[in-house]
Amino acid sequence: MKKVGKQVIAEFIKCDKNILDDIVMLKKIIRNAVKAANHHLVKLGAKKFEPQGVTVFGILAESHICIHTYPEYLYAAVDIFTCGQKSDPIPAFEYIKKELKAKDVKIMSLDRGF
């Protein structure tokens, strides 16, 4: 298989409810997660939902990172996909985990390629 990248898909459970509904804080978390992984942010976008919940995404030079939150369940779904042999999504994952104060995490890591 020709490896072109790595993807981390994570379920963050029992997170801080206030952070999960704070669009400003979640954008900051994405920016800092990108820095933690030594990646390059091209564009940052976000959408706040009513009555609660936020989706934040970062388009990276290396691919993408996104967080979808469900404050009512203390839950966040996180997806980090990075391209290249040396690119590693794990530092970004660890940073997001710490900042969301997740008490439980389920993670799936995939090598992407053909």
Ranges in the chain, pLDDT < 50? none
Cα 106–chain centre separation: 13
Would you give the DSSP letter of residue 42?
Answer: E
Which pLDDT score, from 0 to 100, does residue 3 have?
A: 87
pLDDT for 30: 98
Domain spans of the chain, in order of start: 3-113
Question: Are the CB atoms for 12 and 99 separated by under 8 Å?
Answer: no
Which among 47, 88, 87 has a CA at the least distance from the CA of 68? 47
Give the architecture (CATH level 2) of 3-113.
Answer: 4-Layer Sandwich (3.60)
Q: What is the pLDDT of residue 14?
A: 98
Q: How many CB atoms lie within 10 A of CB 110?
A: 11
State the pLDDT at residue 22: 98
pLDDT of 74-87, one tens digit each? Answer: 999 999 999 987 78
Please report the pLDDT score of residue 86 as a whole number: 78
Q: Angle 62-83-19 (CA atoms, 0-180°, nearest 5)? A: 55
Active site residues: 63, 68, 83
DSSP-assigned states of every residue in 78-114 = EEEEEESSS--SHHHHHHHHHHHT-SEEEEEEEEEE-
- What pLDDT does 78 receive? 98
In this structure, the number of other CB atoms found within 10 A of the CB of residue 65 comes to 28
